[in-house]
Amino acid sequence: MKQLIYLVFVLSFCLCVIYSCVKDKGTDPDLAFTDRALLDSCKNIEAFTYYKNDQATIYSGANGPHGTFKLKFNKIAYSALTVGGKLPVGAKFPEGSLVVKEAISGGTINLYAIMYKHNNSWLWCEIRPDYSVIYSVKKEPSPCISCHQQSGNRDLVNSFSFY
């Protein structure tokens, strides 16, 4: 009897090991960062806090390409906004930060411009609420970076200079 219990235990252990190996192989680590997955994250309203905890629509500053917008941060990104609701000068956003600009047209969201911190650098994408992609996260080099390097940027985020 004791041996049987032992055998069942060993067998289930082996099955677990085999299952997790197979499962890992079937998982694409990039899937979490597809345009679609990022848009789904943006639509999860509870996961975000608006800039300075204020949902007011903001008017674009110098060189802003998107017109009026709202700006929101996921919890990881928001935790880095420690000085007057802004990222301190010289600081970096932590891994997993999601910064989202909701471009507003006629009172509704027209597109999401997205920055996602992954492996110490930003992934960029622009996508409409109906999932049509304007700039894919996979586009290299990103058309977004050069403009975001303008003076006053903090970890490539520009809004802190204007609002």
Please say whether the beta carbons of 137 and 118 come within 8 A: no
Taking residues 11 to 50 in sequence order and writing x for each that binds ligand HEC by CB under 6 A, - otherwise, the string is ----------------------------------------
Q: How near is the Cβ of 114 to ligand HEC at its closest, in Å? A: 6
| Residue among 52, 66, 92, 118 that touches ligand HEC (CB under 6 A) | 66
Which token pair is 113? 């411009």
Taking the CB of residue 4, how many other CB atoms lie within 10 A of it?
8
| Residue among 101, 102, 127, 155 that touches ligand HEC (CB under 6 A) | 101
Read off the amino acid at residue 145.
Answer: I
Per CB under 6 A, 71 contacts ligand HEC: yes
Q: Cα separations (Å) of 121 from 30, 67, 128, 136?
A: 15, 26, 23, 16
Q: Cα separations (Å) of 10 from 1, 7, 18, 20, 118?
A: 14, 5, 12, 16, 39
Smaller CB separation from ligand HEC, 15 or 62 = 62
Q: How near is the Cβ of 148 to ligand HEC at its closest, in Å? A: 6
Per CB under 6 A, 124 contacts ligand HEC: yes
Per CB under 6 A, 162 contacts ligand HEC: yes
Please say whether the beta carbons of 90 and 148 come within 8 A: no
Which token pair is 3? 């041996």
| Residue among 78, 115, 116, 155 that touches ligand HEC (CB under 6 A) | 115
Per CB under 6 A, 135 contacts ligand HEC: yes
Which long-range contacts link 79-83 to residues 24+ away (Cβ below 8 Å)?
none
Question: What residues line the site for ligand HEC (CB under 6 A)?
Answer: 60-61, 63-66, 71, 99-101, 113-115, 124-126, 135, 143-144, 147-148, 157-159, 162
